[in-house]
Amino acid sequence: MKDYPSVTKQISHLTKTAFNVLKTYVTEGSIRTTKEIENSRWQICKTCQLYDSEQHRCRECGCYIQNKLEWSGDHCPLNFW
């Protein structure tokens, strides 16, 4: 099973995500997705081979899945959603 990316890569991804979330807030007025989008994302993530069900994290980017699901400016690093 793939390990998590380096801390440097995780910080880089988090920085990009924070920028995208802020940009989405400015343009759309919210940083949260709808429950429907969150649930749709969850259905994809929980079946992904890179989902770490013990840590509830994505092994591709290192993020905690719950945060990725909720933030409207975030996306799957593998472009599944």
Per-residue pLDDT reduced to its tens digit, 25-70:
899 888 899 999 999 999 999 999 999 999 999 999 999 999 899 9
| Prediction pTM value | 0.83
Instruction: Give the Å distances, CA to CA, from 17 to 47, 48, 54, 71.
Output: 23, 20, 23, 9
